[in-house]
Structure 1
């Protein structure tokens, strides 16, 4: 899929900040035939004042509204928009879709879905047809507690847990699988689900790339804990649908050993990784990494059932009343229905185990993102990434776009003409590294007008692709010269008021920069008596 444009005509949650904003997302790729040739070059939004986080929030709000479960957010908020995008079918035929929500005088504003047919917009009312024209998956990533991005995913997660709790007690629904949520949030709490699924069922190339950047040699062992009758659980314990009971049975057969405490209804599964474990997981999850991740994630979503009813009610009320100012608390590990423990690896060149939690935040973040990129290889996936490189070292930041374009999937990399290339990605950044990998038309700069308080969106005036970081800092972030504030202010003051002796002393303590060169020129002029 490819996003075309987003127009926000009204958004009360932002205090009018985004009213009237138009975001051109299509760039120069105006015809569908160019989309597959363009491969997977992520559309990059440079954000001043974090405005694009709100835009991505609204994308996920809409998709949640047409999926299922907790749809309270859009129904209760004064948010009006028009979104256009292109989406492909199995035969790589593209449809142009327009989704809008406008003021129409009614209390519950209707969401209108249209498809372009012979140059005319045709409104759709068939839920099945609408479902076909939505992204297959909307995958969000945040490295921190970005509630603006994560809230709709939390609402979908809570809805799934509620649906399991109800269906498990209904004999007519207990045996029916619950569809996978289209919304997937990859954050620190889902980190291990992504990593373990990839290391168990990913290709050898995927496994190697996930661990080699962290100087790890081998995935050694891990533990899964499932506890259904913990004191923090609902009265009578957590009930499972047949689908989830099957998952428990599969893990029994895949584990190296397991323990079941009948009184507490707690399972502890230990896995010592060898070829037989890989083969067992491949047998019970034949569709591969994403299917296994879905199993782990469905069990993990039940952790919401441990959250007290008062907190869950407060969450629902908060969505309605405060819109984006509420989130569910995270249960402590010891109370969770499902959790991973004791992920151990062998360090390269050493026969010594190391626990995964001992790795750095940047190493965790890279494994998360690459694992997510590797397993979500189908067409029509929308990625919404909030500062995905925030914890990386400078070298990884420089190589980030190259890594995700070249990372292997089961259908090939996104750098070639594959299904995985027929995806869309929005990401935000506050660093100059990512834009240097982007063509100018794929970089958007958001800036708040201090006089009108409105948000302005523009393309860079320079070609960002291959540009040096100093130029990007100046154009996209208005940082010029590209040095920190203390030496910059000192140099500015010396340029205006400094004596030759003061400037000479300062120059000996300043590193190389264009600002230092200006100060040296000022010293030369003073010494020559020109000023």
Structure 2
């Protein structure tokens, strides 16, 4: 998977991006050549990730085989062109979707699929193909903070899935009709709330995840000791409490029963149809999980799909109102937060053994440690071919050592995999490990226009001073208070005053100018 070109012909919701036309280098085949967007706040970095997600959400809505939406009601989110390569059965395909007008029917969507083989290019008949096979297998988004707009396409996707699951489960219950099938999500949004499922799944299947031991070493964690999962279908605010609350599909009911069977203790509350499941992790427990789930991703998908049903706790009137507002793009609207007491799925009491055999609760870990497990655990766990990762400031809570290692760790755990990665960052640590052709500097020229350019010089291995100047115009790389004091002293005519202040400042080129200033003033006195 590799995106090669992105064009935004016209867009109403993000006018900054109108006219953007970006080309992405293919790079080396056996390592990840992450595309890195850097620039000040408000320059449009996150918006580029957002439009990529919106494009693939639009394509998934049109072409997926399950839970098909009414094609007459599906319109392009904006006018765009996207070109990307995908590898299927050891063959390389170039996929082109072009929608040159705003809010057009999918019938006006131009599609090209070209097969590349032995230096030959064959233009395939798209009418004979199942287009969904040529869409990225998984699209994972990550945000280090509460980036509301980045999460919106995912929220819309989750709402559709939760409602589909509800309708399907009710149809099966009322009519014993199994005509519809369940399906795994294509879009995954990773933030602080989803991290617990990632941690549990990754630790249980750590032996099957290459390089996971590398993550444990960095975190100084030996093992996941225990955790608790609560699954509830008749909470205090469950919809239709008098008719059974949240109904699970046969697939989800089977998964719930598997988790119950694996658990060391199941505390059942009949009033709320609540199973509180306690797990102590040992060789037997890990083996039981592996007997019931084929991989870390399948276990995580089980937890994730149950967690998405939390959306059903919000009353339908509110859900419909928010869906309408999102569609009209009037505001950035998220579903109300569901309290733990009402959730269908809830995690608690995650405990780890550290290398010194002491025990620590997940909540006691730092934000940086949470982020480390979330970002790299996701990249390890979602290990299928043709995946796309869109990471919005994934290293913000890292210490300088981890920031310095970020790209190296990324490449180490994803080597020889066919996937693509887009990163936004403010960090020179990240940029210094990216080649010049992979870096895009965004600058806001006016309220309705941005410029996107590659750096004028090579960034790979360059000093941070150069990156700060190229990307942010920071030169010299010294904070304002100390720099202003140094500038005042540079205009001082008394060498003794400058000399008395020298020890107030650390070493820098600017401090060296003060030493030169003393020498010049002394020479004048001697004349």
Regarding TM over 0.5, the answer is yes
Map of 1:12 onto structure 2 = 12
Kept after mapping to 2: 8 A contact 1:40/1:405: yes
Alignment of 1:195 onto 2:194:
no
- Match among 463, 468, 472 for residue 473 of structure 1: 468
SS at match of 1:300: helix
1:240-277: CA deviation from partner (whole Å, max 9, x where unpaired): 00000001110111111112222211101111111111
Cα offset, 1:382, TM superposition: 0.6
Tell me how far apart the structure 2 counterparts of residues 483 and 390 of structure 1 sit (CA, whole Å): 20
Map of 2:257 onto structure 1 = 249
Kept after mapping to 1: 8 A contact 2:490/2:514: yes
Alignment of 1:218 onto 2:218:
no
Tell me how far apart the structure 2 counterparts of residues 175 and 193 of structure 1 sit (CA, whole Å): 30
Tell me how far apart the structure 1 counterparts of residues 466 and 323 of structure 2 sit (CA, whole Å): 46
Map of 2:164 onto structure 1 = 163
Cα offset, 1:45, TM superposition: 1.6
Tell me how far apart the structure 2 counterparts of residues 104 and 430 of structure 1 sit (CA, whole Å): 32
SS at match of 1:490: helix
1:334/1:208 CA distance change after superposition, 3 Å: farther
Tell me how far apart the structure 1 counterparts of residues 488 and 445 of structure 2 sit (CA, whole Å): 28
Supply the RMSD in Å over aligned alpha carbons.
2.6
1:405-430: CA deviation from partner (whole Å, max 9, x where unpaired): 222xxxxxx33xx3x2x110000000
Map of 1:389 onto structure 2 = 395
Map of 1:341 onto structure 2 = 348
Cα offset, 1:209, TM superposition: 3.3
Tell me how far apart the structure 2 counterparts of residues 378 and 153 of structure 1 sit (CA, whole Å): 20
Runs of at least 5 residues in structure 2 that lack an aligned partner in the other structure: 62-66
Kept after mapping to 1: 8 A contact 2:10/2:80: yes
What are the residue-to-residue correspondences of 1:98-177 with 2, within 5 Å?
Answer: 98-103=96-101, 110-116=108-114, 124-125=126-127, 129-171=130-172, 173-174=177-178, 177=181
Alignment of 1:297 onto 2:295:
no
Alignment of 1:63 onto 2:56:
yes
Cα offset, 1:173, TM superposition: 4.8
What are the residue-to-residue correspondences of 1:192-341 with 2, within 5 Å?
Answer: 192-203=196-207, 206-235=211-240, 236=243, 237-285=245-293, 287-322=294-329, 325-341=332-348
- Match among 351, 360, 383 for residue 354 of structure 1: 360
SS at match of 1:222: strand
SS at match of 1:244: helix
1:175/1:253 CA distance change after superposition, 3 Å: farther
Cα offset, 1:111, TM superposition: 3.0
Tell me how far apart the structure 1 counterparts of residues 211 and 163 of structure 2 sit (CA, whole Å): 35
Kept after mapping to 2: 8 A contact 1:198/1:206: no
Tell me how far apart the structure 1 counterparts of residues 105 and 330 of structure 2 sit (CA, whole Å): 17
1:222/1:35 CA distance change after superposition, 3 Å: same
Map of 2:39 onto structure 1 = 47
SS at match of 1:529: helix
Q: TM-score, normalised by structure 1?
A: 0.89
Q: Which moved more, 1:508-517 or 1:240-249?
A: 508-517
Kept after mapping to 2: 8 A contact 1:103/1:109: no
1:119-173: CA deviation from partner (whole Å, max 9, x where unpaired): 68667356x5221111111110111111221111111111111011100011255
Q: TM-score, normalised by structure 2?
A: 0.90
Q: Which moved more, 1:223-232 or 1:470-479?
A: 470-479
Kept after mapping to 1: 8 A contact 2:136/2:388: yes
Tell me how far apart the structure 2 counterparts of residues 497 and 78 of structure 1 sit (CA, whole Å): 60
1:17-64: CA deviation from partner (whole Å, max 9, x where unpaired): 2221212222xx3xxxx6524x21312121333412111111111211
Tell me how far apart the structure 1 counterparts of residues 420 and 281 of structure 2 sit (CA, whole Å): 35
Cα offset, 1:489, TM superposition: 2.3
Runs of at least 5 residues in structure 1 that lack an aligned partner in the other structure: 408-413
Cα offset, 1:207, TM superposition: 4.9
Cα offset, 1:311, TM superposition: 3.0
Q: Which moved more, 1:144-153 or 1:379-388?
A: 144-153
Kept after mapping to 1: 8 A contact 2:76/2:103: no
State the number of aligned residues.
Answer: 508
Kept after mapping to 2: 8 A contact 1:175/1:242: no
1:71/1:389 CA distance change after superposition, 3 Å: farther
